[in-house]
Chain A
Amino acid sequence: MSVDQVSSAWVPLAAALLLAVAAAAAALDGALAARSLGHHPASGLLTPVAETARLFRQRRRSTLAADVPLWRIGGAGLLTAALLMVVVVPLGRWTVADLAVGVVWFNAMDVLLWAAVWLAGWGPNSAHALVGGFRFLAQALAYELPLMFALTTPAVAAQSLRLGDLVAAQEGLWFVVWMPVAFVVFCGAVLAFSVWGPFAAATGSTTAGGVLAETSGVDRWLVTAGRYALLTAGAAFGATAFLGGGQGPLLPAWLWTLLKTAALLAVLVALRRRLPVLRPERLVAPAWLVVLPLTLLQLLVVSVVVVVRG
């Protein structure tokens, strides 16, 4: 299956699609929240709409000696990074940017979050927010290296950094079957760079909301929407790099991509209420002493298979 680059006129539609799927993820989270409170799940489906209406009407909170430009850049950075991530992810047979280094592009865009989340914590000149920003960087040190090697694994198997080649190389057998460790590490890293679930300490209640402590109104909406968009972009990339992308019987390729993305995204969203939040300062040791060697072993296995098969 080949992937064609579409005209750049489709870019707004791709952005709208990302936001629509992210909104669906937010609705799912609302439903799960309602269920955990004992209400009917359907009553929570409109939570994102209600939250959007509330936040758009809310006034901005201002703090003393805030670094407003950096604060705004940081807050808007999450959604921007998510939008930039998906430009290389093919939707079935179409892609917005058919980069020869698509995997590296995705990686570079997730590194932008190092800057964005820290700036969102730095900007308001508030202790809690700054602690949140540092918590994120501590967590980033833990997840980034395993993520990089997890991203390397499918690229080695396909012998290409182009996402279209990754999809083509999974014809017959999805990568997740013979590189499960890389897939799990990748999913964990998506949770971590989205500041989600077990990796949400940077916005945790123990620091009065961390980077979100002083963020209100439309800025808070941007950060929240950005986190859902990041989860979505991560799920879309994971579905493409590990779950075969548009490969599948009967249905058209674009629908397979969407279905796989939605399934992975639903799992990532649901994990939020299943796992406890981890303390970032305890993360680096297990990440570097356990997860990183496991990821490297996985990479070794895949490399040997690739060499032996010729």
Chain B
Amino acid sequence: MLSGIVFWVLAVIAVATGVAVFRVDSMARATYALAASFIAVGLTLLLFDLQFLGVITVLMMVMEMAVMAIYMIMFMGMNPALMPMSMVHGKRPALVVSIGTFVVLAGGALLVDWPTRRGAPAADLVTSLGEAVMESKMLVMMTVSPVLFATIVAALVLALPRSRYDRMGADLRGRDLDRGAGR
């Protein structure tokens, strides 16, 4: 009963804030509406007793949105982050794609002949989940993550018009212009 109420409240919050992402006219509001939507989804996961996944979703998404807000304000040319603007682009294709996706997913959820549960859930869900997700793919993950990280750093260096290479020269040995006179 109580978990039913909590589920519906969280579901309504998740959908309403998700809609708000496209209805508000400011980047900050859109960003944090999306964060609120993710928080509601993360808390919904707690209802499935997926404590780690639920809490980590909240953690990752809030952090991500905070970083996203900086990037948008830093890198958007006409700076729509600082002035009201519509959050919707390509309305018709977006509508077609989203309605199509919803119909496929919802139809699938209702029509698929779901298998019945085999076996019992593991005693330590977090451990078995970690093994299921990572065990055979650990090597791949360990290779991919430095590449991903290097890509992010390289993209940042290219995108920043005035970075440390500009301040200190190509070999980074010059005087740091940001530190002012006397340094």
Interface residues, chain A, CB within 8 Å of chain B?
Answer: 67, 69-70, 73, 99-101, 104-105, 107-108, 111-112, 114-115, 118-119, 122, 134, 137, 140, 144, 161, 281
Contact = CB atoms under 8 A, between A and B. Distances in A.
Interface string B43-69: 000000001100110110011011101
B26 A107 contact: no
A100 B28 CA distance: 34
Interface string B64-88: 0111011000000000000000000
Contacts of A112: 58, 62
B73 to A, nearest CB: 9
Interface string B107-120: 00000000000000
B70 A115 contact: no
B28 A67 contact: yes
Contact of A137 (B32, B51, B70, B126): B70
Nearest to B63: A111
Interface residues of B, number: 20
Contacts of B63: 111, 114, 144
* Interface SS majority for chain B: helix
17 contacts: A70-B28, A73-B32, A100-B126, A101-B51, A101-B55, A104-B52, A104-B59, A107-B59, A108-B55, A111-B62, A114-B66, A115-B35, A115-B62, A115-B66, A118-B69, A119-B28, A281-B178
Interface in B160-183: 178
A108 B58 contact: yes
Contacts of B70: 134, 137
B51 A100 contact: yes
Nearest to B66: A114
A67 B51 CA distance: 34
A137 B66 contact: yes
A240 to B, nearest CB: 18
Nearest to B54: A101
B81 to A, nearest CB: 10
Nearest to A119: B32
B59 A115 contact: no
A279 to B, nearest CB: 10
A167 to B, nearest CB: 19
Nearest to A134: B70
Given A67-B26, A137-B66, 11 more contacts: A101-B55, A108-B55, A108-B56, A108-B62, A111-B62, A111-B63, A114-B66, A115-B35, A118-B66, A118-B69, A144-B63
Contacts of B52: 100-101, 104, 161
Contacts of A73: 32
Given A70-B28, A99-B51, A104-B52, A111 B35 contact: no
A107 B57 CA distance: 12
Contact of A70 (B32, B51, B55, B59): B32
Interface in B88-134: 126
Listed residue (A69, A99, A114, A281) with the most chain B CB atoms within 10 angstroms of its CB: A114
Contact of A67 (B29, B58, B59): B29
A144 to B, nearest CB: 7
Contacts of B58: 108, 111-112
The 8 residue pairs across chains A and B that have the minimum distance between CB atoms: A108-B59, A114-B66, A101-B51, A108-B58, A104-B55, A101-B52, A108-B55, A111-B59
A86 to B, nearest CB: 16
Contacts of A69: 29
